[in-house]
Structure 1
Amino acid sequence: MDESAYGSRDRRGHYTPDRLVRTGPLFELPFRPRVVARWLFGWGGYLWPYNLFYALVGIGVWLWLTPPMERMRDFEAGWIAFIWLRNAGLILLWFGAFHLRLYVQRAQGTRFKYNPNWPSTDNDAFLFRDQTVDNMIWAFGSGVTIWTAYEAVTWWLFANGYVPWVSWAGHPVYIVAFMLLIPLFREVHFYLVHRLIHVPVLYRYVHSLHHNNVNPGPWSGLSMHPVEHLLYFSGVALHWIVPSHPVHAMFHLVHLAMSPAPGHTGFEKVVAGEDSALDTHCFAHYLHHKYFEVNYADGGVPLDRWFGTFHDGSREAEERMNARFKARNAKRRAKAAKAAPS
């Protein structure tokens, strides 16, 4: 598969796809039913392949890899440790599959890789000066641990009847509709958290750890400061308030944990054959790592468009971004000059 048929490289070797970043049509006016239907049900849209895959994983994990509810009425080290090991195994398999093919085997070289360089192996911004090692330490040590803590509290609340539990037999339509809405809620929550941790003081002491990955790889997705993990996984608290079924919470947690992997591969496509490839849909987020203050969300809900932080990868978008930065910096300089003693 020839990358030049889908994009081009600049003088420094950085790859830009011809296809611009798009946001979902669900909130566009006028409402276009056919366009929305294609986005919902077409390949590479809202359901297929990723959201459906995460939903199936969540259902499977809930049915076969979660301790019985009766056992989780009390906090015990045994079942909590089992969940930690299960979560760690899930992350190792999913993130590790992308990393193995793209960064260990380098099965497609730098074809479709946005940044032509490989992850840092001698950079003091990372633990042990190694980007991948650093990313994995934060992903497992903090990410899996905090994910497990939220999950343990969620199951304890369900098991003791402290949160409303909706049955499949009584409310099948509600359960399906709620499953379909979880990724949209996830995106709104992520946008709010993401904007919060870009506040200068939180960015400096918390989010900058994630942004050390200016050339992200799969493991960069869950490489976060513990405070960021606490905020990131807090979205599951929705199910502590809104009536739901435990499978909703499991899907929500799986989505939170697994979706950062394809979103941080650093590749536009994972090539499966000469005429087939899996789109990663990570160019929008790659631009966030490149420019820091654009594309805070993923685009199902067009929050970045609404709040003026959208970058679709075009030259025009870059010019708008630079003009915004220039105006903001001029305003800051004027404010500083006004505050300075005469």
Structure 2
Amino acid sequence: MDDLKYGVRDKRGDWKPSGRLEIAPFWSWPPKLPKVLGWLPGYIWPWNAFHMATALLYWFYVVPNVETMKSISWGWALWLYAVNAAAIFVFYGIFELRYYVQRAQATRFKYNHKFPGDTPSDVFWFQSQNLDNFLRSFFITIPLWTVVEVIFLWCFANGYVPWVGWQDHPIYLAALVLIAPAIHEVHFFFIHRLIHWGPLYRWIHSVHHNSINPSPWSSLSMHPVEGFLYHAVAFWHLVIPSNPIVALFQLHVAGFGAVNGHLGFEKLELTEDTAVSSEAYAHYLHHKYFEVNYGGEGLIPLDKWFGTWHDGTKEGDALMDARFQKKRERVNARAASH
């Protein structure tokens, strides 16, 4: 595909889309029903449909029976970790192999023209972003994902929280599934904003931000505190009356869905004429500029409301620069007063 039909490439070779990032259309007033209806299929397919498919596969073929889950044991906890690790290795690995190892798409639609494997750095273990990100994901973050999973399954199995049945409340649970990605965005925005606070950033979040030019293995490369808080989004289903399948879906939106913002490509070419949108640009801009787009793609436009939204345009650059200038002035004023 010709990526210059969809965007522009600068002198360094970095590519950016020609359009602007848009928040979900139902936030526009007055709402335009055709636009909302046109947006809905992309909301469901392919990514959220994939996450629900994996949640169902887990529930029917991976998750132990209720009696087993009433007591926490190494057996079923390690089994879940093994499945989580294997699933991420395959799922993320497909993107890593095709787009970063084989480089089947070269730099078409790639935001940053460089590949992480070509630029060793001392900030990473063994000076390798790929190896560092891989090890942190599989030996820190995925175990913590599993801890969250074991806890909420144990709570459901023991009746410590309401277990809403699909036969009795199908409409309620279907609605809960539909809003689960919104729960993720709100949860992610606030924990993400918190760990961007100076001391917490240096201690915790800087680990993830070492990957300025992220790739699939960067998705779950986190400090243990961030890794736990990020996946703890599933604990909302211990507060909201819910069902373990919906909680699994919520967890998979976080775990499997983390790859979207770190793919590094706007479109993933499947054939010469077809491609899938990665939905990566908003989070790529966060890795590039650090203090914008703390949330997601604008499903719940918290960045817009809090003034940290960057839509990928020159106007977005200008708003960001003005905000940074005001921040510098405040810092300088405080320094002068002392």
TM-score with structure 2 setting the length = 0.97
Q: Which of 174, 185, 188 lines up with 1:187 in the alignment?
A: 185
Residue 36 of structure 1, CA deviation: 1.4
In 1, the alpha carbon distance for the partners of 2:312 and 2:236 equals: 33
1:313 aligned partner: 312
1:231 aligned partner: 229
Residue 141 of structure 1, CA deviation: 0.9
SS in 1 for 2:45: coil
Residue 17 of structure 1, CA deviation: 1.0
Residue 30 of structure 1, CA deviation: 1.5
SS in 2 for 1:19: coil
Structure 1, unpaired ranges of 5+: none
In 2, the alpha carbon distance for the partners of 1:25 and 1:8 equals: 25
In 2, the alpha carbon distance for the partners of 1:50 and 1:204 equals: 32
TM-score with structure 1 setting the length = 0.96
The answer to whether the Cα contact below 8 Å between 1:46 and 1:300 also exists between their aligned partners in 2 is no
Residue 327 of structure 1, CA deviation: 1.2
1:246-279, CA deviations, whole angstroms, 9 ceiling, x for partnerless residues? Answer: 1011101111101111220111111112211111
In 1, the alpha carbon distance for the partners of 2:233 and 2:195 equals: 15
2:328 aligned partner: 329
2:77 aligned partner: 80
1:104-159, CA deviations, whole angstroms, 9 ceiling, x for partnerless residues? Answer: 11101111111111104521110111001100111111111001001111111111
2:88 aligned partner: 91
1:86-109, CA deviations, whole angstroms, 9 ceiling, x for partnerless residues? Answer: 100111111101001001111011
Residue 198 of structure 1, CA deviation: 0.5
2:30 aligned partner: 30
SS in 2 for 1:8: strand
1:162-185, CA deviations, whole angstroms, 9 ceiling, x for partnerless residues? Answer: 110001111111111111111111
Q: Which of 230, 234, 242 lines up with 1:244 in the alignment?
A: 242
1:17 aligned partner: 17
In 1, the alpha carbon distance for the partners of 2:16 and 2:210 equals: 21
Matches within 5 A, 1:1-342: 1-41=1-41, 45-120=42-117, 121-298=119-296, 299-338=298-337, 340=338
In 1, the alpha carbon distance for the partners of 2:33 and 2:301 equals: 17
Residue 19 of structure 1, CA deviation: 2.0
- Number of corresponding residues: 336
SS in 1 for 2:260: helix
Name the amino acid aligned to 2:269.
V
Residue 316 of structure 1, CA deviation: 1.2
Name the amino acid aligned to 1:317.
G
In 2, the alpha carbon distance for the partners of 1:15 and 1:106 equals: 16
Name the amino acid aligned to 1:47.
I
SS in 2 for 1:273: coil
The answer to whether the Cα contact below 8 Å between 1:98 and 1:261 also exists between their aligned partners in 2 is no
In 1, the alpha carbon distance for the partners of 2:26 and 2:125 equals: 42
Q: Percent identity?
A: 46
In 2, the alpha carbon distance for the partners of 1:27 and 1:4 equals: 30
